[in-house]
Chain A
Amino acid sequence: MSWFSALYRSAVGKKAVMAVTGIILFGFIVLHLIGNLKLYEPGLYKAPGETGPGVRYINAYGLFLRHVGEPALPAYGALWIFRIVLLVAVILHIWAAWQLTLMSRAARPRAYASRPKIHTTYASRTLRWGGVIILLFVIYHLLDFTAGTVNPGFVEGDVYRNVVASFSRWYVSLFYILAQMALGLHLYHGLWSLFQSLGWNHPRFNHWRSGFAHAFAWIITIGNVSFPLAVLTGLVHK
């Protein structure tokens, strides 16, 4: 791993690590959204050959995630690989964010009396605190839907029920929505910024880098915000 530490030593290297881990996390978020959209799939899903009444699509999707790769992999095998990659990515991302933040603090020990004007986007200024909100949210999210500790009457495997139960409480929905906005802002700058960090620039595609970032920031935010709203408005119900 000496190549990694050599790279990681420099600020540019740290940023590259942030960008790559950011891409991994972004990929997860996209898949997560696609998965969650199953919440809107009407009717019940019956696996081929299954005889019962079937299950909600989103529950079936959860089941799928737990068993994907079988029999080549044991049950939960692929899911765990996936979770480990995500965990490493999250740790590296946060670790780098932390170190870079310290670096930036150290670089200006004395603040300006008159705050420097902001000439460019405000989104870029929200990355740090936005990241913290996202982190808190992720922890809550895991306790809510994975461990179930903070979910009222949690039923393992019944994703649909758990979601409806959690979002029926307006304050949980509100927190969820706020966190999604933080994520949206994070992506609004982050998805553009990663091109810079990794040196992916060319006059031919430079102009659509920010288009890409803005489009996905909106897609992710609108998509994710729609779930609590759908529950609160009764569009999705028990």
Chain B
Amino acid sequence: MNLTLHVWRQKGPADEGRMVQYEVKDVSEHASFLEMLDVLNQQLIGRGEEPVAFEHDCREGICGSCGFMINGDAHGPMPGTTVCQLHMRHFKDGDVLHIEPWRSRAFPVLKDLVVDRGAFDRIIQAGGFISVATGEAPEANLIPVPKPVADRAMDAAQCIGCGACVAQCPNGAASLFTSAKVSHLNLLPQGQPERFDRALSMVEAMDREGFGYCSNHAECEAVCPKEISIDFIARMNRDYLKAKAQRGMKTPLQT
């Protein structure tokens, strides 16, 4: 199939950036979207032009490196699929595709489709862990975890941190990402001692990074490659509000 691509090109963080049109010919329907871009890039190199920079690593939908908008859809049109797992058979000959990086104040564009998602790491730094130093752990089976709880925690823990939730959210909020980590740890018995501090610190870190707020539009859930539920956002809000109530509404000690 032949496609027309409009790709965001931006030389570096300071560059203005613009959409540039490319034609790609004879794309196999079995290729993945990133492989289609690989083909384009080889053509560009052949012509002495700089290839389109995009982030990728595992190409198995698990590392969370890849991701950009295709015609207004984070990770493209297939639900539950990262762009590296999106295959060209879902497109048709003659399609015109607009490819843009995630847009968020907290994710500055570094080049073309590559953005800096360091804000996510900093949210984790605020409390997305259980404080247990190496060697301190008790025998694993001393902490039984009811199966439904473990399963639910796993549903949340699956987040790959790709940033699609932020990209699709009309408010540019990071609530799905943050709530997935808060919920993963706050659901488990191991996470209880730090539960409320965690909710407070991580929610506040999210604001500090310049993300938007949650209007409960649920766009994030619709595009999440791991189909993480916005129920976790409600859980996070609950833990946060409870924490505020319990702590006499004082700001938490910064972790």
Contacts and interface: CB of A to CB of B under 8 A. Distances in A.
Q: Do A and B touch directly, given a CB cutoff of 8 Å in the complex?
A: yes
Contact of B239 (A118, A121, A199): A199
B222 A120 contact: yes
B43 to A, nearest CB: 23
Q: With a 10 A CB-CB cut-off, give which of B215, B219, B233, B242 has the most chain A CB atoms.
A: B215
Contact of A125 (B100, B103, B217, B251): B217
B165 interface: no
Contact of B241 (A4, A16, A120, A201): A16
A108 B170 CA distance: 9
Interface residues on B, range: 35 or more
A195 interface: yes
Interface string A40-51: 000000000000
B249 A4 contact: yes
Nearest to A197: B237
B219 A201 contact: no
A2 B233 contact: no
Interface string B171-210: 1110000000000000000000000000000011011001
A6 to B, nearest CB: 5
A127 interface: yes
B105 A108 contact: yes
B212 interface: yes
A109 B105 contact: yes
B129 interface: no
Interface string A212-228: 00000000000000000
Given A12-B241, A16-B237, A206 B69 contact: no
Contact of B219 (A104, A120, A197): A120
Nearest to B233: A196
B94 interface: no
Interface string A91-133: 0000000001001101111111111111111001101000000
Given A11-B213, A198-B237, A198-B241, A107 B106 contact: yes
A193 interface: yes
Contact of A114 (B69, B171, B207): B69
A13 to B, nearest CB: 7
B52 interface: no
Interface in A190-210: 192-193, 195-201, 206
B31 interface: no
A3 interface: yes
B211 A107 contact: yes
B122 interface: no
A56 interface: no
B168 interface: yes
Q: With a 10 A CB-CB cut-off, give which of B204, B239, B241 has the most chain A CB atoms.
A: B241
Given A116-B170, A196-B230, A7 B244 contact: yes
B98 interface: yes
Contact of A198 (B8, B105, B231, B238): B238
Contacts of B213: 11-12, 14-15, 100, 103-104
Given A15-B214, A112-B69, A114-B71, A201 B103 contact: no
A111 B103 contact: yes
A17 to B, nearest CB: 11
Nearest to A99: B213
A233 interface: no
Contact of A10 (B71, B98, B204, B210): B204
Nearest to A100: B213
B215 to A, nearest CB: 6
Contact of A106 (B105, B230, B241): B105
Contacts of A2: 249
A116 B76 CA distance: 11
Interface string A63-96: 0000000000000000000000000000000000
Contacts of B78: none
B235 A201 contact: yes
Nearest to A127: B215
B120 interface: no
Interface of A: 2-4, 6-7, 9-16, 100, 103-104, 106-121, 124-125, 127, 189, 192-193, 195-201, 206
- 8 closest A-B pairs by beta carbon, nearest first, are A199-B238, A3-B249, A107-B172, A107-B212, A119-B222, A11-B213, A104-B171, A201-B234
Given A6-B244, A199-B240, 12 more contacts: A12-B203, A14-B213, A15-B214, A100-B215, A104-B172, A104-B212, A107-B106, A112-B72, A117-B72, A120-B218, A120-B222, A199-B242
